[in-house]
Amino acid sequence: MRCSYIKQNTVLTMTEFYYTKAKERKEDIDNMNIVICCKFVPCPQDIEKNIDGSVSFDRATWEISEFDLQAVEAGMVLAKATGGKLIAVSVGSSRIEASQLKKDLLSRGPDELYLVSDDELTDADTGVISTILAKAAEKIGADIVICGEGSADYYYQQTGCQIGERLGWATLNYIDSIEAGDGFLKVERTLESKIEVLEVPLPAVLSVTTNINTPPRPNMRAILSASKKPVTMLSLSDLGITSIAENVKVVSTIAPRSVDRKNIVVSGDTMEVAAAEFVRCLKVDGVL
Amino acid sequence: MNAFVFTDNTLLLAEMIGGAKKLSGGGKVTAIVLGTEDDANNICKLGTDTICWLGEQGNRLVDDFIPTIINLIQSRVPDVFLIGSSVCGRAIAGRVAAAIGTAAIVGTKEIREIDGGITASHMIYGGDAVRIEKLLGKTLVAIVGAGFSDAAEPVTGNGVVEPVPFIEPVVKVKLIETKEKPPSNSGVATAKRVVGVGRGFSSKEEIELAKELAAELDGEVGYSRPVTEGDPPLMKGEPYIGVSGIQIKPDLYLAVAISGQTQHVIASNESKVVACINKDANALMFRHSDYGIVADFKEALPALTKAIKAAR
Residue B212 sits in the same domain as residue B301: yes
Query: Which superfamily does A8-233 belong to?
Result: HUPs (3.40.50.620)
Last residue of a domain, one of B163, B178, B209: B163
Q: Strands, E, within A4-84: which ranges?
A: 33-37, 40-42, 48-49, 55-56, 62-64
Residue-level pLDDT at B183: 64
Looking at residue B234, which CATH number applies to its domain? 3.40.50.1220
Q: What is the pTM of this model?
A: 0.84
Closest CA to B229 of A148, A208, A212: A212
Please tell me the distance in Å from A214's CA to the nearest CA on chain B: 8
Residue-level pLDDT at A60: 95
Residue-level pLDDT at B186: 66
Residue B153 sits in the same domain as residue B222: no
Residue-level pLDDT at B185: 55
Helices B87-100 & A126-140, crossing angle to 10 degrees?
80
Last residue of a domain, one of B96, B131, B163: B163
Contact between chains at B175 and A196 (C-beta distance less than 8 A)? yes
Strands A112-117 and A194-201: unpaired
**B235 assigned to some structural domain:** yes
Q: What does the domain layout of chain A look like in residue ranges?
A: 8-233, 261-288
Contact between chains at B172 and A201 (C-beta distance less than 8 A)? yes
Contact between chains at A255 and B129 (C-beta distance less than 8 A)? yes
Q: Which residue of A has its CA nearest to B189?
A: A192
Residues 167-186 of B with CB under 8 A from A: 170-181, 184, 186
Residue B12 sits in the same domain as residue B155: yes
Q: Strands, E, within chain A: which ranges?
A: 33-37, 40-42, 48-49, 55-56, 62-64, 85-92, 112-117, 144-148, 170-180, 184-190, 194-201, 204-208, 231-233, 248-254, 264-265
Nearest CB among B119, B229, B290 relative to A264 is that of: B290
In contact, B123 and B107? CB cutoff 8 Å: yes
User: ipTM, 2 decimals?
Assistant: 0.86
Residue B109 sits in the same domain as residue B239: no
Residue B121 sits in the same domain as residue B236: no
Q: What is the pLDDT along chain B (312 residues), one digit of tens a residue?
A: 999 999 998 888 989 999 999 999 889 999 999 999 999 988 888 889 999 999 999 999 999 999 999 999 999 999 999 999 999 999 999 999 999 999 999 989 899 998 879 999 998 887 788 999 999 999 999 999 877 887 778 777 678 999 999 999 999 999 999 998 766 656 888 899 999 999 999 999 999 999 999 999 999 999 998 898 876 788 887 888 987 788 888 999 999 999 998 889 888 988 999 999 999 999 989 989 999 999 999 999 999 999 999 987
- Residues linked to residue B126 through DSSP beta bridges, in sequence order: none
Mean pLDDT by 10 residues, chain A (288 residues): 30 37 68 96 89 90 96 97 96 96 97 96 94 97 96 93 97 96 93 93 96 92 96 96 90 82 93 95 92
- Asked if B219 has any chain A CB less than 8 Å from its own CB, the reply is no
In contact, B3 and B28? CB cutoff 8 Å: yes
Chain B contact probe: residue of A63, A70, A162 with most B CBs at under 10 A: A162
- Could you please report the per-residue DSSP string of A107-134? TTS-SEEEEEE-GGGTT--HHHHHHHHH
Q: Residue B295: its chain A contacts at CB < 8 A? A: 271, 274
Closest CA to B278 of B309, B261, B255: B255
Residues 252-281 of B with CB under 8 A from A: 252, 266, 269-270, 272-275, 281
Residue A100 amino acid letter: Q
In contact, B45 and B70? CB cutoff 8 Å: no
Q: Which residue of B has its CA nearest to A189?
A: B87
Q: In the sheet where A184-190 sits, what is the strand order?
A: A231-233, A112-117, A85-92, A33-37, A144-148, A204-208, A170-180, A184-190, A194-201, B174-180
Chain A contact probe: residue of B75, B125, B212, B238 with most A CBs at under 10 A: B125
**B180 assigned to some structural domain:** no
Q: Which residue of B has its CA nearest to A274?
A: B293
Residue B80 sits in the same domain as residue B132: yes
Q: Residue B288: its chain A contacts at CB < 8 A? A: 259, 261
Q: What is the CB-side half-sphere exposure of residue A275 using CA atoms within 13 A?
A: 21
Q: Residue B105: its chain A contacts at CB < 8 A? A: 156, 248
- Asked if B94 has any chain A CB less than 8 Å from its own CB, the reply is yes
Rounded distance between C-alpha atoms, residue B127 and residue A44, angstroms: 10
**B217 assigned to some structural domain:** yes
- Across the A:B interface, residue pairs with CB atoms under 8 Å apart total 284
Contact between chains at B129 and A165 (C-beta distance less than 8 A)? no
Last residue of a domain, one of B148, B163, B178: B163
Nearest CB among A249, A276, A285 relative to B136 is that of: A249
Chain A contact probe: residue of B80, B87, B282 with most A CBs at under 10 A: B87
- Residues linked to residue A170 through DSSP beta bridges, in sequence order: A204
3-state class (DSSP) for residue A28: coil
Residue B220 sits in the same domain as residue B301: yes
> Residue A238, Cβ neighbours under 10 Å: how many?
14
Q: Which residue of B has its CA nearest to A41?
A: B125
Please tell me the distance in Å from B40's CA to the nearest CA on chain A: 22
Chain B contact probe: residue of A129, A196, A269 with most B CBs at under 10 A: A196
Contact between chains at B103 and A6 (C-beta distance less than 8 A)? no
- Asked if B249 has any chain A CB less than 8 Å from its own CB, the reply is no
- Asked if A83 has any chain B CB less than 8 Å from its own CB, the reply is no
In contact, A150 and A185? CB cutoff 8 Å: no
Looking at residue B31, which CATH number applies to its domain? 3.40.50.620
Rounded distance between C-alpha atoms, residue A228 and residue A72, angstroms: 19
Q: Residue A155: its chain B contacts at CB < 8 A? A: 106-107, 124, 126, 243-244
Residue B150 sits in the same domain as residue B257: no
Domains: count for chain B: 2
**B173 assigned to some structural domain:** no
Residue A208 amino acid letter: V
**B181 assigned to some structural domain:** no
Residue B15 sits in the same domain as residue B149: yes
Close Cβ partners of A45 (under 8 Å, ≥ 6 residues apart): none
Chain A contact probe: residue of B95, B135, B171 with most A CBs at under 10 A: B171
Burial A217-227 (b: 16+ CB within 10 A, else e): ebeeeeeeebe
Residue B54 sits in the same domain as residue B159: yes
Residue B73 sits in the same domain as residue B14: yes
Print the domain residue range for B264.
186-311
Residue B98 sits in the same domain as residue B136: yes
Nearest CB among B94, B97, B124 relative to A153 is that of: B124
